[in-house]
């Protein structure tokens, strides 16, 4: 369980997050949605202790993120950042192998290699495994980074816009994989998504943020209504129910 209590964040004088309280139980997919600058990425960074906590507390499975030793926390939670730039001359397999670092401090056992191979296969990277990262397209690199986070084999996975740069096919494959991982392995995913329809199709729960606050928090069917969407994003959009899932026609 991720427990966020009274978390606020300021950068210089600008409030980024205001008094966030959120509990995410173990298992399932939670989507974070909201307009640019709502504080979604900042919240994710705080949960993954990439930023120091200024106010409030965050616990993951009872571990306080600001006081738990790094290696211990890295076996519980993994994060994929939005703007990860890995520019050095690395092969895809090496990058994914780095995901095993918290477990063996760099020495890869046969079991580790097995997990790396699984991660490569799951994200359709087996053919690219021996390519250098710099020779990959943005979408392929994005998949390699997701595979690395997956290879970290943690109960909690925080993904900041994992669909960046992905084509339709790979976006769908990635969301299906994440859903399958959450279901079969009882993992918890917190995913920042810009496409509300992806959230509708794959998330159990959607948390909507705006201006540093959580303003709605419900199952997709209850949250994705024209009224709520208008308060979050500031304009009215049509919502149709197709096959039991809300479908937002936000581009019309």
Partner 1 sequence: MAGRRILGLALVAVACMVAFLAIGLRGDIAFVLQLRAVKLAALVQVGVAIALSTVVFQTVTGNRILTPSIMGLDALYLFGQMLMVFLLGGVGYATLDPQLKFAAEILLLMALACALLLPMLRRRLDMGLMLLAGVVCGVLFRSLQALLARLIDPNEFAVAQSASFASFNAVRTDLLAFAALVTLAAVIVVWRARHVLDIVALGADAATGLGIHWQRTVTGLLVLVAALVAVSTALVGPVAFFGLLVAALAERIAGTVRHATLLPAAALTGIIVLVGGQALFQHGLGSGAPLGVVIEFVGGIVFLLMLLWGSRR
Determine the straight-line distance between the first and last CA of the chain, rounded to whole angstroms: 38
87 binds partner 1 (CB under 8 A): yes
Measured from the CB atom, is 65 or 229 closer to partner 1?
65
Q: Is 188 in the site for partner 1 (CB under 8 A)?
A: no
Q: Is 172 exposed, middle or buried (0-12, 13-18, 19+ CB in 10 A)?
A: middle
Taking CB under 8 A as the criterion, the residue among 14, 89, 240, 243 binding partner 1 is 89
90 interacts with partner 1 by CB under 8 A: yes
Specify the length of the chain in residues. 252
User: Which of 143, 205 has the CB closer to partner 1?
Assistant: 143
* Alpha-carbon torsion (199, 205, 206, 207), positive or negative: negative
- Candidate residues 19, 94, 155, 217; the one interacting with partner 1 per rule CB under 8 A: 94
- Taking the least distance from each CB to partner 1, the nearer of 44 and 239 is 44
Quick one: DSSP state of residue 92? H
How far is CA 249 from each of CA 86, 210, 233, 246, rounded to the nearest angstrom?
Answer: 35, 20, 13, 10
What is the Rg, in whole angstroms, of the alpha carbon atoms belonging to the chain?
A: 18
**Beta carbon nearer to partner 1, 138 or 226:** 138
Binding to partner 1 in span 101-140, by CB under 8 A: 101-102, 105-107
Binding of partner 1 by 74 (CB under 8 A): yes
Asked if 247 touches partner 1 (CB under 8 A), the answer is no
Cα distance between residue 114 and residue 92, in whole Å: 15
Binding residues (CB under 8 A) for partner 1: these are 45, 48-50, 69-75, 78-79, 81, 84-90, 94, 98-99, 101-102, 105-107, 149, 152
């Amino acid at each position: 369980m991720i427990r966020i209590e009274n978390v606020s964040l300021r950068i210089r004088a600008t409030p980024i997050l205001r008094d966030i309280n959120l509990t995410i139980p173990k298992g399932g997919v939670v989507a974070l949605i909201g307009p640019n600058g709502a504080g979604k990425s900042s919240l994710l960074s705080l949960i993954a202790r990439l930023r120091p906590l200024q106010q409030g507390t965050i616990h993951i499975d009872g571990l306080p993120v600001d006081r738990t030793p790094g290696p211990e926390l890295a076996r519980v939670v993994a994060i994929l950042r939005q703007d990860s730039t890995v520019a050095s001359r690395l092969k895809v397999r090496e990058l994914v192998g780095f995901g095993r670092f918290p477990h063996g401090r760099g020495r890869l056992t046969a079991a580790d290699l097995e997990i790396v191979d699984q991660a490569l296969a799951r994200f359709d990277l087996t053919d690219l495994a021996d390519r250098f990262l710099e020779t990959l397209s943005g979408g392929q690199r994005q998949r390699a980074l997701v595979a690395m986070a997956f290879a970290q084999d943690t109960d909690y996975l925080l993904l900041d816009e994992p669909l960046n740069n992905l084509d339709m096919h790979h976006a769908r494959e990635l969301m299906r994989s994440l859903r399958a991982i959450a279901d079969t392995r009882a993992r918890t995913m917190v995913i920042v998504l810009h496409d509300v329809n992806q959230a509708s199709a794959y998330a159990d729960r959607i948390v909507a943020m705006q201006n540093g606050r959580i303003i709605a928090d419900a199952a997709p069917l209850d949250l994705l209504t024209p009224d709520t969407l208008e308060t979050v994003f500031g304009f009215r959009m049509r919502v149709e129910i197709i096959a039991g899932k809300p479908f937002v026609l936000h581009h019309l």
